[in-house]
Structure 1
Amino acid sequence: MAPSRFFVILAILAVFAPSILATNYIVGDDEGWTTGFDYQVWAQGKMFVVGDNLVFKYPKGVHNVLKVNGTGFQQCAAPVGTAPLTSGNDVINLATPGRKWYICGVAKHCAAGQKLLITVKPSIAPIPGPLPAPSPSPLSASSAAPSPSPTAECSY
């Protein structure tokens, strides 16, 4: 019965480990999502992985967040029809690996540096390996191997 419980626990961990291990990154830390901040410097040294979240904090109505491609990032322009995030506490789950680009679409904020480029790595969730063999049943006294005699020599 114990081995089946182990399998159930292992299955639960495999499903929930990525979300438990996920990191919430507050973009810009204490500064938040604003103008006059170097987001590329902020992103340096951070390892973003699938399952992590970016949290864009800013005063509602002052900024927004647009997910763009590399060209949109360079030109500070979102494709027509791109819906901005505007809550002031926008959470973006990093669901796939690769490069991700975000800009502020308000006025000239992007041109003033309010833009972020990151690279998301594949998930680092542990991959379950082979399971240990079940414990052998206790040996009865009659089937136990004889113990060595006190005069036996062992070499190590």
Structure 2
Amino acid sequence: MASSQFFILAIVAILVPSILAKEFVVGDQKGWTINFDYQDWAIGKEFHVGDKLVFKYPKGVHNVLAVNGSSFQKCVAPAGTQPLTSGNDVITLATPGIKWYICSVPNHCQVGNQRLIIIVEPSPASAPSPN
């Protein structure tokens, strides 16, 4: 009996995070483009481990790079980093913490404000329960 209860709990622990995960289209209807305030877009949204960011843009016009804080501030791609370029890029938020994203097409980040910074919280399913 105890082993069947453990099995059910294990299945629930596996399924709950994926059920609770949300998908965010970055920029909503505007998508990933220049001259849009992505920090304003992110205000009020809660991002958790397991959620997905979807970057939609015309293929060949923009790209998406996950960068560190220094590269974000400077709007530069770290050496050897390959951007996502499909025009429908999906990034699953795998770990908690601060995440930075830019477009590395010249002047899109610097002049066009095509950059996003978010804070990813632990999955609600993995958060400690109150006593």
Deviations 1:75-118 (A, max 9, x none): 10011111000000101111001000000011210012000000
Gap runs ≥5 in structure 1: 130-156
CA distance in 2, matches of 1:28, 1:39: 7
Shift of 1:31: 0.6
Deviations 1:33-88 (A, max 9, x none): 00111000000111101111111000100000011111111110011111000000
Aligned to 2:95: 96
CA distance in 1, matches of 2:97, 2:3: 38
Q: Please report the TM-score for the alignment, with normalisation by the length of structure 2.
A: 0.91
Alignment of 1:31-110 (within 5 A): 31-110=30-109
Deviations 1:1-36 (A, max 9, x none): 5x6544322210101111111001100011100011
- Change in Cα spacing, 1:101 to 1:10, as seen in structure 2 (3 Å) is same
Q: Give the conservation status (yes or no) of the 8 Å contact 1:22–1:51.
A: yes
Question: Aligned residues: percent identity?
Answer: 66
Q: For residue 21 of structure 1, what is the amino acid of its counterpart?
A: L
- Change in Cα spacing, 1:89 to 1:123, as seen in structure 2 (3 Å) is same
Following TM superposition, the consecutive aligned residue runs of length 4 or more in structure 1 with deviations greater than 3 angstroms are: 3-7, 126-129
CA distance in 2, matches of 1:114, 1:43: 13
| Residue 20 of structure 1 pairs with residue 54 of structure 2 | no
- Secondary structure of the structure 2 residue equivalent to 1:109: coil
CA distance in 2, matches of 1:21, 1:37: 28
| Higher share of residues assigned helix | 2
Q: What's the RMSD between the two structures over aligned residues? A: 1.7
Aligned to 1:123: 123
| Residue 30 of structure 1 pairs with residue 8 of structure 2 | no
Q: Give the conservation status (yes or no) of the 8 Å contact 1:14–1:128.
A: no
Say which structure, 1 or 2, has more relative contact order (CA 8 Å, 6+ apart).
Answer: 2
For this pair of structures, how many residues does the alignment match? 128
CA distance in 2, matches of 1:74, 1:126: 32
- Change in Cα spacing, 1:118 to 1:126, as seen in structure 2 (3 Å) is closer
Query: Larger radius of gyration, structure 1 or 2?
Result: 1
- Secondary structure of the structure 2 residue equivalent to 1:15: helix
Gap runs ≥5 in structure 2: none
